[in-house]
């Protein structure tokens, strides 16, 4: 993989992580178009590192909120900060269970699954289309909401289902205020991404890649430039997405998902013929 290809993938990840159009789905489509011949393990490792870059951009944009969450966890008082922190923790549980129990199976979804991505993008579009028609409220995320939103996040590990689209969309359909839904959606993924990257950095594959003893088809330099590109693009997209959600224009993204989903399905069918 060249540095230019890595930068392109990083920009795609940075822009699509916070826009409800499935960053993982777009990454896999881009890898397919680039003709990347990656194994499931190396493809997923690249995806995780690019997600780590956008998680870091979330930390920059929401640094005050994240500090409040950390303080809330150590206060042990049933105040607003502690309750919000508890909801974040609860929302993480479904995705952690899926990640631990089905990690090997998930790798298979990150190589050449263009047809699956197409169908999942259409599903994402449907969620966004329905959410855009929900009534505006000022409701906060409740404990039960946090668990349901967490389940939506766990399902969104499938490439093609937008994590932010699924979590924001489900939140809004549950009656949560749109801007609060976006804030919760962006914050709930940060611990998961950093947990995953820590796990991968402790793996033999990562240590072998750094030392040059294992060739996984991607150089550390390519991953690094992709990381930087994703981080910069992520800061821009995160700020932009908050403004878009407040203006209730999710339907625009639903139409986009429908179009890209159909294109992916046609692409997959014609490449199989």
Task: For residue 208, name the pLDDT band (cuts at 50, 70, 90).
Answer: low
CA distance 24 to 51: 9
Q: Give the CA angle between residues 271, 9, 183 to the nearest 5°.
A: 115
Most confident of 78-92, 206-220, 236-250: 78-92
Strand partners, 176: 139
Q: What is the pLDDT of residue 147?
A: 92
Q: What is the mean pLDDT of residues 202-211?
A: 64
Select from 108, 118, 126, 111 the least CA-distant residue to 270: 118
pLDDT of residue 229: 93
| Range in 29-38, 123-132, 202-211, 228-237 the model is least confident about | 202-211
Quick one: angle between helices 80-101 and 178-188, nearest 10? 50
Kindly state the percentage of the chain with pLDDT values over 90: 8
Average pLDDT, the chain: 79
- pLDDT value at position 126? 92
pLDDT at 70: 75
Express each pLDDT in 97-156 by its tens digit.
887 776 666 666 555 678 888 888 999 999 989 888 887 788 888 889 999 999 998 888
Q: What is the pLDDT of residue 209?
A: 61
Q: What percent of the chain has pLDDT over 70?
A: 80
pLDDT at 248: 62
What are the b/e assignments for 75-99, b being 16+ CB within 10 Å? eeeeeebbbbbbbbebbbebbeebb
Pull the structure tokens for residue 83: 């309750």
- Residue that has been written with the tokens 């998930």 in this structure: 106
pTM reported for the whole predicted model: 0.73
Model pLDDT, residue 29: 79
Tens-place pLDDT, residues 148-187: 999 998 888 887 888 888 898 899 899 888 888 888 888 8
Q: Name the more confident of 228 and 181.
A: 228
What is the token pair recorded at 209?
Answer: 């890649």
Q: What is the per-residue pLDDT for 109?
A: 57
**Res 92: pLDDT:** 86
């Amino acid at each position: 993989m060249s540095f230019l290809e890595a930068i392109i993938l990083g920009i795609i990840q940075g822009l699509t992580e916070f826009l409800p159009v499935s960053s993982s789905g777009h990454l896999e489509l881009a890898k397919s178009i680039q003709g990347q011949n990656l194994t499931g393990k190396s493809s997923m490792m690249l995806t995780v590192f690019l997600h780590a870059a956008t998680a870091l951009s979330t930390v920059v944009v929401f640094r005050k909120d994240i500090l409040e969450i950390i303080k809330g966890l150590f206060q042990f008082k049933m105040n607003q900060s502690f309750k919000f922190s508890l909801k974040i923790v609860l929302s993480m549980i479904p995705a952690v269970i899926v990640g631990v129990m089905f990690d090997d199976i998930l790798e298979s979804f990150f190589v050449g699954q263009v047809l699956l991505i197409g169908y999942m993008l259409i599903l994402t579009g449907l969620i966004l289309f329905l959410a855009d028609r929900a009534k505006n409220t000022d409701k906060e995320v409740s404990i039960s909401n946090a668990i349901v939103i967490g389940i939506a996040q766990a399902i969104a590990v499938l490439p093609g289902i937008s994590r932010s689209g699924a979590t924001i969309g489900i939140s809004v359909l549950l009656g949560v205020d749109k801007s609060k839904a976006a804030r919760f959606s962006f914050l709930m993924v940060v611990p998961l991404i950093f947990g995953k990257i820590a796990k991968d950095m402790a793996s033999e594959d990562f240590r072998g890649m750094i030392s040059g003893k294992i060739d996984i088809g991607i150089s550390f330099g390519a991953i690094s430039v992709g990381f930087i590109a994703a981080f910069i693009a992520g800061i821009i997209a995160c700020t932009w997405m908050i403004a878009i959600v407040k203006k209730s224009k999710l339907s625009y993204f639903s139409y986009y998902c429908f179009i890209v989903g159909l294109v992916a399905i046609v692409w997959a069918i014609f490449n199989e013929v």
